[in-house]
Amino acid sequence: MRVASSQLYGATIRSMLEQQSQLAKTQEQLATGNRVSNPADDPIGAVRIQGLERSLERTAQYANNSVILDSRLRLEEETVGNSIEILQRVRDMAIQANNPVHTEESKGALLVQLKQEINSLLSYANTQDNDGRYIFSGYQNAAPFSYGEIGGAAGRGRGLGEGGMTEVAGAVKKKKQEGAGAGKGGEKR
């Protein structure tokens, strides 16, 4: 084939430019550490990358959610655990009091001790977290438990219940709800 002089240069320059543009592309990949810099480089890959990026972000958010849930549940666990200990001690005292050798004085001392235990139980039931929210008040934010009026006696079961009457369901459910919310994080992806 006849070759024009201009063609000789044209072909060389074209091939050089092509190599240069490929070199630029490779250098860009090297510099960014990304194979796909525009979605058009790999459309299917780019869509997948977007999905994965969202999953990554979401998982990080779920991890964050779990940390918050974890600290709340720890506080609740600790509080409930302490309350059980109090109930144990109260039970011990009841057994201890069921003894004819007790004098009025020693019974009085037991009563003082009992009152203290009940007071601590009430304060556990009205525990607040570091944001000042009552952890057993369900959706509401008011002290859920207080002494009732019945019989003037402190710490009776019914009295305790009255303050928290409408909240109990909420309190139980709140825990469940939070569990479900953060649990979702774990389940979904």
Q: Which is nearer to another protein, 36 or 110 (CB)?
A: 36
Closest alpha carbon to 70 in 188, 182, 186, 177: 182
Residue whose structure tokens are 């009940």: 118
- Interface with another protein (CB under 8 A), residue from 19, 78, 173, 179: 173
Token pair of 107 as six digits: 């019974």
In single-letter form, the type of residue at position 163 comes to G
Binding to another protein by residue 87, rule CB under 8 A? no
Sole residue written with tokens 């019974």: 107
Task: Work out which of 12, 20, 23, 39 binds another protein, going by CB under 8 A.
Answer: 39
3 lies in the site for another protein, by CB under 8 A = yes
User: Does position 40 bind another protein by CB under 8 A?
Assistant: yes
Taking each helix axis from N to C terminus, what angle separates 43-97 and 104-125, rounded to the nearest 10 degrees?
A: 170
Determine if 166 is a binding residue for another protein (CB under 8 A).
yes
Q: Which residues pair with 128 in a beta bridge?
A: 134
- Taking the least distance from each CB to another protein, the nearer of 115 and 139 is 139
3-state secondary structure of 21: helix
Distances from the Cα of 2 to the Cα of 11, 14, 153, angstroms: 14, 19, 117
Cβ contact 118:153 at 8 Å: no
Residue 149 within binding range of another protein, rule CB under 8 A:
no
> Interface with another protein includes 6 (CB under 8 A)?
yes
Site for another protein (CB under 8 A): which residue of 35, 74, 107, 133?
133
Binding site for another protein (CB under 8 A): 1-7, 10-11, 14, 38-41, 43-44, 46-47, 49-51, 53-54, 57-58, 61, 64-65, 68, 131, 133, 137-142, 161, 165-166, 168-170, 173-174, 177-178, 181, 184
